Amino acid sequence: MRNRFAPVLGVALWVAASMANAQATVVLKLQPKAGSSYKYSLVNETSAQGAPQKMKMTMSQTLKVISVSGGKITIEASTSNVKAEGMPASSAQELSKVKLTTVTDAYGKVLSSKAAGHEMAEAIASSLGGTGFAGVEYPRKAVGVGATWKGTIDLAKMLEASGLKTGGNKMTVNYKLVKIEKQGAKTVATIEQTFSGSATAQPPAGTQGGALNLSMRGKSTITVDVADGMMLSTRGEVTTSIKSGTQFNMTSTTTTTSKRV
């Protein structure tokens, strides 16, 4: 005799599972162990209006956790195996000499950064612009799927890397937790990030031309290991437009992907 309660039981189990998933929350924090290392492969592609070809760069990156103390995490990033298309080989190799040291709080907020090994090292450090470690800043509370929160990007600091001076422009960054799932032994959180903003900047000293009007918009998807808050993968795209009167107008799009290896 067929169990007449089977359909009802099936619906009940489905509802229970759905509610459990909806109610699941995670605390996203950076909590790696001092001395641990993380290795990634990175691909960076840039296409610019009027440029004959894309500029493509691939590299390996190692993140080494120098210290974890007093709510602060110090991480050193180094690159190797830099290969580039569309730029001089010597310039690509110079990037292998750069070491970037970043101090963040437990939520990924960049407290300070410094770089060495290249004449543009400090500009590279400035270009972080308070974007959050690995491009993401975590919320200060437990969150579930669908939760949103905000951060900021210091556009003035980012532009310093190009020698441009502007006021205290800050862009709002919107984050959304879109998925929590098990991948083997890991609990993985998937975060979407979007931002857009604009600024007027003065060109570098000694160069001709008037003020530059810049606009920037971007989106990315980031996966992190909930256990220690460290990044597993990213895929992002940033489009930048620069205009100066009617004489100069350039738009470029940069796509970056990274994956832990």
Q: How far apart are CA 78 and CA 62, in angstroms?
A: 5
CB 238 within 8 A of CB 217: yes
Q: Are 46 and 15 in contact (CB under 8 A)?
A: no
Query: pTM of the entire structure?
Result: 0.83
pLDDT of the residue at 154: 76
pLDDT of residue 119: 61
The secondary structure of 49-66 as a DSSP string is: TT-SS-EEEEEEEEEEEE
Q: What separation in angstroms does the CA of 114 have from each of 44, 124, 135, 147, 217?
A: 22, 8, 17, 33, 26
Task: For the chain of 261 residues, list the mean pLDDT of each consecutive stretch of 10.
Answer: 55 53 82 97 89 86 96 93 79 78 93 77 54 79 97 76 69 95 97 90 70 88 97 95 80 94 95
Question: Is CATH 2.30.230 correct for 30-260?
Answer: yes
CB 109 within 8 A of CB 136: no
Q: Give the β-pairing of 186-202 and 165-166.
A: antiparallel
Q: Residue 193: which residues within 8 A CB-CB, separation 6 or more?
A: 135, 136, 173, 174, 175, 218, 219, 220, 221, 222, 236
